[in-house]
A and B are shown apart, each in its own frame.
Chain A
Amino acid sequence: MLYREAGDFSTNYREDNQTFPIKFDRYRYYAIMLIAFLVVPFFVNDYWVNAIFLPFLIYAIAALGLNILTGYCGQVSLGTGGFMAVGAYAVYKLMTAFPDVNVLIHIVLAGGVTALVGILFGLPSLRIKGFYLAVATLAAQFFLVWVFNRVPWFYNYSASGQINAPERTFLGFTVTGAKTEAWVAYLVCLVFVTISAIVARNMTRGALGRSWMAIRDMDIAAEIIGVNPLKAKLSAFAISSFFVGISGALYFSVYLGAVEVGEVFGINKSFLVLFMIIIGGLGSVFGSFAGAAFLVLLPVLLKNVLVGYFGWQTDVAAHLEFMIIGGLIVWFLIVEPHGLAQLWRLGKEKLRTWPFPY
């Protein structure tokens, strides 16, 4: 009834190709953006930001990055944790080496450094595919964590081997360090997420994205129709690592403030982000957000309900959390193997004909 194309006329190509062709969708999107930017910052406190919004937004960027590589270009990667660590250590080295340069520039540069490292570890993808490539990226994961633990230069020779984000400001507001206001941290991450999502969306529907998808669907056929696999694969690795690097940099500098590479950027992180895109939906920008929300917000919600409301023992709640989330993952994958994004798509199809389906 409300959700339909009828009456919404496109008079030029631009309108025809917009991300949200349906008016209702478009207004919903504007409304979410308005609320996220203009309403939420006035109501958030430390808990909402540090426990809910920051992890969600930062993981969403990581999931976007991995989705470009795995979902769009079909190259399975288990190195996400390692690439996030590159972003975190790059931003740390930049912040401490050039304290006068703005930290937001450092975060973007950290993404650039990660992109270079990503290209390096993406080189094997020109020769190997599938499981074998997954193992090669797994090697990257272990190698990178080992390097950051082993070479003292990366952590500025600190005795504990940890890296700590120094205090940095932007336009007079503290962005990193303990004195950061909740809403500032939230807005910084939100800006990065928004730009990343818009860039990712536009890249994946342009020529570059089409060449990635061609490689994903059948690499030999893609080569025959003129897609350069070297360019397509390495650009996917570079751009994906760029986003993952930015998420790692934000994760360290804005969210945690102090990081221990082995525990925080271990193999578990790689799996977590991979699960996010599998559950959310491979090859979908919305799926990256849905997957991140599912795996970040649900545990917190369950904890608050089980411990906070029912007053259960914390360990019983923690075990139950594992079971519920594990069960839901299995259930989702059986019911809809293409993830939450596909459910969303189906829901929208149904809405178009509601209330008179044919």
Chain B
Amino acid sequence: MFKKTILAALSSIMFAGPALAELVVPWFAYRTGAYAPSGIPLVDGINDYFTMVNERDGGIGGVPVRVLECETGYNTEKSVECYESTKAEGSLVYQPMSTGVTYQLIPKATADGIALHTLGYGRTSAANGRVFSNVFNYPANYWTAASVAVNHLLAENGGSISGKKVTLVYHNSAYGKEPIRVLEMLADKHGFEFNAIPVDHPGQEQKSQWLQIRRDKPDYVLMWGWGVMNSVAINEAANIRFPMENFIGVWWSGSENDVLPAGMRADGYKALALNAPGTDYGIYDELKANVWDKGLTAGAGDQIGSVLYNRALYMAFLTHMAIKKAQEVTGVADISQADMIKGMEALEITDAMMAENGLKGFAPSFKVTCEDHGGSGLGAVQQWDASAKTWNLITDFIEPDMGMIAPLIKEDSEAFAKENNIAMRC
């Protein structure tokens, strides 16, 4: 009996092939480990969005979408396993949700001809489509984030932050190191004093870093954190009574799971935003009607309406639109991996499209081209209101300093192209 079960299990694993046409969207989830506070809302959001699409429209262009969840625990080796195991199932676009894994997958996915979409993370210079044929990081990246944060500080200080001290607390990995170069250049340009303090993976211990901040007394602290590191940092900042309104996190360091543990002491903490927070959007009615009321909610359903859940809806929306675009461009409903790249390259997100999908005013519009895989680069600033337990946008979407960032992207990507003998496209 037992042997038969094992045999059946093995054979079904080996011979399970796609019988029906479907659009496979793989998702590197981390519901476990030190990064789970950030990973759970994302994976729930993605699942809910595509459940809604399947329930409401019967898929995209009549072909149902299957979200292929693979648990990585934010671990590189498991991510490799996930990539290999989902690759053969016709995965359309990989969203690894980790900058380190993105670096790993860029050459692999390029060799396999599969699209890679790193929304607001990953390798910044992948914005140059002339070098990176299948890697996309629209609508914004870390360099624009750094610039948006500095521009916000400039606006708050009447256009000059010369002589101020700005400290970056960062996750000591490819992710956290990414903005340092741009912040250093911005420090030269605007005359502020910049220093960076690393926090080692996974970031549960930050006493010494915050002691250093207490000694240095910076005017502003920026943070590039993820997972459990965020809530620890906000707690530590509260412990040294650092003024929260002078503490700005990147868009990965500003969700409910990060501020709630510090309670009222986190009041006034700021973070960047790629999309608006809150549940005041038409899509939430659709989700309620098609997903939650039918009992199809992913996970525990306690993440609904959180910042990262909204981020996941945005990611899913962009994937949805790209698949639609690909179907439009190629005229095939059951698109292939190569078609998906074409769709992403032709993607244009307009305000009308967002309104049509119940996301009016959710995020800025942008356009992807063969040369530019980076999108608009716009970011807003949101602030935490601890008594109402809500995030509120306190600025419009701010323009980054593209005059400085664009040449940097060009330089970095061209160096990569030269190193790896990649011919320029477009």
Kindly state the separation between the CA atoms of A212 and B122 in the bound complex, as whole angstroms.
48
**Chain A positions 60 through 91: 1 when the CB is less than 8 Å from some CB of chain B, otherwise 0:** 00000000000000000000000000000000
Kindly state the separation between the CA atoms of A50 and B104 in the bound complex, as whole angstroms.
13
Which chain A residues border B423 with CB–CB below 8 Å?
none
Q: Contact partner of B76 among A164, A263, A304, CB < 8 A?
A: A263
B84 with A264: CB separation less than 8 A: no
A257 with B13: CB separation less than 8 A: no
Kindly state the separation between the CA atoms of A167 and B70 in the bound complex, as whole angstroms.
29
Which chain A residues border B84 with CB–CB below 8 Å?
46-47, 50-51
Q: Does B367 contact A (CB under 8 A)?
A: no
Stretch at the interface among B107-115, B285-293, B377-385: B107-115
B81 with A161: CB separation less than 8 A: no
Kindly state the separation between the CA atoms of A266 and B108 in the bound complex, as whole angstroms.
24
Nearest-CB residue, chain B, relative to A179: B111
Stretch at the interface among B156-164, B171-179, B349-357, B398-406: B171-179
Q: Contact partner of A260 among B70, B110, B174, B180, CB < 8 A?
A: B174
Q: Contact partner of B80 among A159, A256, A266, A307, CB < 8 A?
A: A256
Q: Does A342 contact B (CB under 8 A)?
A: no
B73 with A318: CB separation less than 8 A: yes
Kindly state the separation between the CA atoms of A257 and B110 in the bound complex, as whole angstroms.
14
A258 with B87: CB separation less than 8 A: no
Kindly state the separation between the CA atoms of A257 and B79 in the bound complex, as whole angstroms.
13
Kindly state the separation between the CA atoms of A256 and B84 in the bound complex, as whole angstroms.
12
**Chain A positions 302 through 320: 1 when the CB is less than 8 Å from some CB of chain B, otherwise 0:** 0111011100001101110
Nearest-CB residue, chain A, relative to B12: A309
A178 with B108: CB separation less than 8 A: yes
Kindly state the separation between the CA atoms of A28 and B139 in the bound complex, as whole angstroms.
58
**Chain B positions 65 through 109: 1 when the CB is less than 8 Å from some CB of chain A, otherwise 0:** 000011101011100110011011000000000011001100110
A247 smallest CB distance to B (angstroms): 14
A159 smallest CB distance to B (angstroms): 5
Which chain A residues border B75 with CB–CB below 8 Å?
263
Interface residues in B1-54 by Cβ distance below 8 A to A read 9, 12-13, 16, 29, 31-32
B37 smallest CB distance to A (angstroms): 13
B198 with A159: CB separation less than 8 A: no
A257 smallest CB distance to B (angstroms): 6
A300 with B174: CB separation less than 8 A: no
Kindly state the separation between the CA atoms of A78 and B19 in the bound complex, as whole angstroms.
49
Q: Does B200 contact A (CB under 8 A)?
A: yes
B9 with A260: CB separation less than 8 A: no
B24 smallest CB distance to A (angstroms): 15
| Known pairs A160-B174, A160-B178; A178 contacts B77 (CB<8 A) | no
Kindly state the separation between the CA atoms of A354 and B111 in the bound complex, as whole angstroms.
54
B32 with A319: CB separation less than 8 A: yes
A164 with B412: CB separation less than 8 A: no
Kindly state the separation between the CA atoms of A238 and B348 in the bound complex, as whole angstroms.
59
A317 smallest CB distance to B (angstroms): 7
Q: Contact partner of A262 among B13, B16, B81, B172, CB < 8 A?
A: B172
Nearest-CB residue, chain B, relative to A48: B84
Interface residues in A315-330 by Cβ distance below 8 A to B read 315, 317-319
Kindly state the separation between the CA atoms of A179 and B110 in the bound complex, as whole angstroms.
9
| Known pairs A161-B173, A314-B29; A149 contacts B198 (CB<8 A) | yes
Q: Does B181 contact A (CB under 8 A)?
A: yes
B201 with A162: CB separation less than 8 A: no
A51 with B178: CB separation less than 8 A: no
Kindly state the separation between the CA atoms of A300 and B70 in the bound complex, as whole angstroms.
12
A160 with B71: CB separation less than 8 A: no
**Chain A positions 168 through 183: 1 when the CB is less than 8 Å from some CB of chain B, otherwise 0:** 0000000001110000
| Known pairs A51-B84, A178-B110, A304-B13; A262 contacts B173 (CB<8 A) | yes
B16 with A308: CB separation less than 8 A: yes
Nearest-CB residue, chain B, relative to A317: B71
Kindly state the separation between the CA atoms of A308 and B16 in the bound complex, as whole angstroms.
9
B31 with A46: CB separation less than 8 A: no
B174 with A55: CB separation less than 8 A: no
Interface residues of A (CB under 8 A from B): 45-47, 50-51, 55, 149, 159-162, 164, 166-167, 177-179, 255-260, 262-264, 266, 300, 303-305, 307-309, 314-315, 317-319
* Known A160-B177, A308-B16; 20 more pairs at CB < 8 Å: A47-B84, A51-B81, A149-B198, A159-B177, A159-B178, A159-B412, A160-B99, A161-B177, A166-B419, A178-B107, A258-B100, A259-B76, A260-B174, A263-B201, A307-B71, A308-B13, A314-B69, A314-B71, A318-B71, A319-B32
Interface residues of B (CB under 8 A from A): 9, 12-13, 16, 29, 31-32, 69-71, 73, 75-77, 80-81, 84-85, 87-88, 99-100, 103-104, 107-108, 110-111, 123, 172-174, 177-178, 180-181, 198, 200-201, 412, 419-420
7 contacts between A and B (CB under 8 A): A51-B84, A159-B177, A159-B412, A255-B80, A258-B104, A263-B76, A307-B71
Which 9 A-B residue pairs are closest in the complex by CB-CB distance?
Answer: A315-B31, A178-B107, A160-B174, A314-B71, A178-B111, A51-B81, A309-B9, A47-B84, A258-B104
